[in-house]
Structure 1
Amino acid sequence: MRPIQLVILLVAVGAAAGAGLIATRIGTHAPEAPQQVAAQPATPPMDLEDVLVASKDIGIGKNVDVENLVWKPWPKDGLNEGYIQRTSQPDAVSELKGMLVRNPILAGEPIRKAKLVRSDRGFLSAVLPEGMRAVAVRVNAASTAGGFILPEDRVDILLVRQKDANEAVAETILTDIRILAIDQSVQQTGDDKQPSMVAQNTATLELTPDQTELVTQAQQIGSISLALRPLVDNDQPAARQRKPTGVAVVKFGVVSRVTAQQAP
């Protein structure tokens, strides 16, 4: 055997012996103990209570029924005393069936009896605040902002009357009046057959007793028009404090002016 071959053989044997020794040491080395992980405190379960909610939007004057009521779990710490709970009123769905909604209820909103009224008691009288009156006035599309005035809108009331044979005058007699209802119909107009709301004969207003007398008198003198107010005015009470001018009445040649107090 040549010397070079002997050297290569000795090197290979030495490398194999070294690899075996390393493998033996690794196999006999004790495994490290697993690292302990601090246990996280468990989140306490949330206390829930079934509450009756609207399963879809329910508009003013609509009936509540099985189709638009549903029980939903609600956190107990977020319960309101007006909410209807299953534990205290398990038959609430059948008990409330047929009642009318006096204020809009949104989908997912808890049902409260303060927003409902029994249909046999008269809806309009139920939605009227204490001390107020509901008064109907004659209107048409031209006198109701083109028919775009809807219930819950707020308007100014204008009286249009003949000053003489050649001149008519208009004056604002009341401001910031709430619309309770308005007589409308849906008509198909144009080739595209798009429906439009058209005012018909009457609008029902929420008035104080003094305002009721004023508006009734104004209808005998001339015609009534309603001017729609922007929603932003509802958040600016100071903008609604303009004193109404009232109605000028001529009796036995003497001109007097009748005014009414604003609703609170």
Structure 2
Amino acid sequence: MKTRSLILLVGAITLAAATALVARALMRPPPPVTIIKEVEAPAAPNQRVLTSSRTLVPGDFIDGAALSWQELSSDAVRVDHLTAIGESARRQLERELYGATLRRPVAAGVPLTRDALVYAGEPGFLAAVLTPGMRAVSIPTNVVASNAGLVNAGDRVDVILSLNRDALSPPTDTPNSTYAALAAQTIVHDVRVLALNSSTASIAPTANDSSEDQPANGRSGNRANASTRASYESITLEVTPAAAEQLALAREVGALQVALRSVRDHDDAASADPSALAELARSSREVTRIGDTTSIFNGITNHTQRPITVKTYQGAQQGQQIFGDAP
């Protein structure tokens, strides 16, 4: 075969192959177009957070009316927020908070946090419940002076100062004249009991739950100790700064005793006649002396002593000396 013919044949075959490839490429369907669509990430599920239903300040005790649940997105929930899943868990959390108070003010609708709450018996609780401008002062007491342990934190009492007979010096040389100096006076009126010894538990309200519903921390269980009355060595009272100074001085000169007041005293005082209240306040400041209490000592201090005759001997001489004779 001639060289020219061979070249033409190879060229024809190459052209045919190229034509076939081009035709195949033209007949192939175009590749599918990839459409990229932005999909929004699913929103985080909401959580229920415990908030205050009204403005709360230190000294306000948490109760059911002070709490409300609000839904917040999980991104807005902080670690120190109070959350619970399920109705039962939420009710349990409310019972645990019952009776707690605030370390700082919390506005209505603001989520409550663990560090904003303080419970009875914890450091800072007494300072939180103390009325602004008032002072907490402790006075010594015993079984009798504390009404056999029947006074509880939260009660209102009067404080009575009575002079100690053993600490008095006889004002005269007359026998039994010490009794004439005995006196008592109510020096502080209508003050709130904050603590007995170091216990402030009963000043905070407690939830009325059955024993199986009580929280594990035992913060809401004071009824178990209601039947066990203890004697106390000190009582802490909420008083004015001036009354705190009076009590500090009074306990150095006599015995202090608390007198429990009725819970209705405040209601009666609101509706009483102002003149009657003034008369009651005046009479309560009067000093009660031994003669106002009993007449058993009447006349003893002024009783004339019988003269005492003492015989004396000096050698052979005999004489007598009369003591206690009227001048």
Q: TM-score, normalised by structure 1?
A: 0.48
**Larger-gyration structure (1/2):** 2
Question: Which of the two has greater strand per residue?
Answer: 1
Q: TM-score, normalised by structure 2?
A: 0.40
